[in-house]
Amino acid sequence: MTAIRDSYSAPAKLGHWLVALLLVVTYGVAWTMVDLRISPTKLRLYNYHKWIGVTIFALVVLRVVWRRLRRPPPWPPQMPAWQRQAAEIVHRLLYLLLFALPLSGWLMSSAQGFQTVYLGRWPIPDAIGKHAALGTALTSVHVALTWLLLALVAAHVLAALKHQFVDRDGMLWRMLPRRRRAPQEKP
């Protein structure tokens, strides 16, 4: 099977792995903070969680803009049509959720009366006013979306592993830092 030579551009790779890293951190922070009793630590973690969410949102905006400027490499020719469609759908949904999660978090915070102040310094305006019932509803939306994103990330990771270890088509290398090519690999 022919190995894939095309690779994602360096900014695309950086954006991908930064978002991946921040997602792992922010999920960890989220699962820790919700179970804590009310304390300064809890408030601190909530703020960190919100700041990371804002950062992810900004990075995903940049990634989408970059994706328009520099198209991702094409699918390998041997990849079946249904897999391409499935990959397209999962990728679109991943982007959609990476926008929707920070947005729902921002709205739920506003409704609960806690403005988002990025890094404790830059206030992000509230789109909606304080409203306890709406805050509870938006919290449910935010939590539901976290599970949906987790499921999509799982599908994404499993698909990447399948390409790497079952199909052995080298798809994963497209998203990994470029290795210095050894001289004998030259065509």
Partner 1 sequence: MNRIAMLIAFGLLFGTAMVHAAPRPLIADKSRITFSVKEMGVSVSGRFSRFDAAIDLDPAKPETSSATLSVDIASLTTGNADADTIALDAPWLDQRAFPKATFVSSAVERSGDDRYTVRGTLTIRGKARAIVVPLTAAAQTDRGLVVRGGFTIRRSDFAIGGGEWNESGVVADEVPVSFELTLGAPH
Residue 107 has φ and ψ, to the nearest 5°, of: -65, -40
42 CB neighbour count, 10 Å cutoff: 15
186 binds partner 1 (CB under 8 A): no
Q: Which one of the spans 22-30, 53-61, 89-97, 117-125 is the region binding partner 1 (CB under 8 A)?
A: 117-125
Nearest to 17 by CA among 59, 47, 50: 59
Name all contacts of 85-91 with Cβ < 8 Å and 24+ positions apart. 86/159, 87/159, 90/152, 90/155, 90/156, 90/159, 91/156
132 binds partner 1 (CB under 8 A): yes
Give the contact letters, 53-92, x = binds to partner 1 (CB under 8 A), - = no.
----------------------------------------
36 binds partner 1 (CB under 8 A): no
113 binds partner 1 (CB under 8 A): yes
Q: Give the amino acid at 99.
A: F
Nearest to 46 by CA among 64, 61, 31: 31
187 binds partner 1 (CB under 8 A): no
Q: Which one of the spans 15-23, 62-70, 120-128, 162-170 is the region binding partner 1 (CB under 8 A)?
A: 120-128
Count of residues of this chain found to bind partner 1 when the rule CB under 8 A is applied: 21
CB-based burial label for 116 (10 Å; 0-12, 13-18, 19+): buried
114 binds partner 1 (CB under 8 A): yes
Q: Which one of the spans 15-23, 58-66, 97-105, 112-120 is the region binding partner 1 (CB under 8 A)?
A: 112-120
Length of the chain: 187
- Among 18, 22, 79, 117, interactor with partner 1 by CB under 8 A: 117
The binding site for partner 1 (CB under 8 A) comprises: 38-41, 43-44, 47, 112-117, 119-121, 123, 130-132, 135
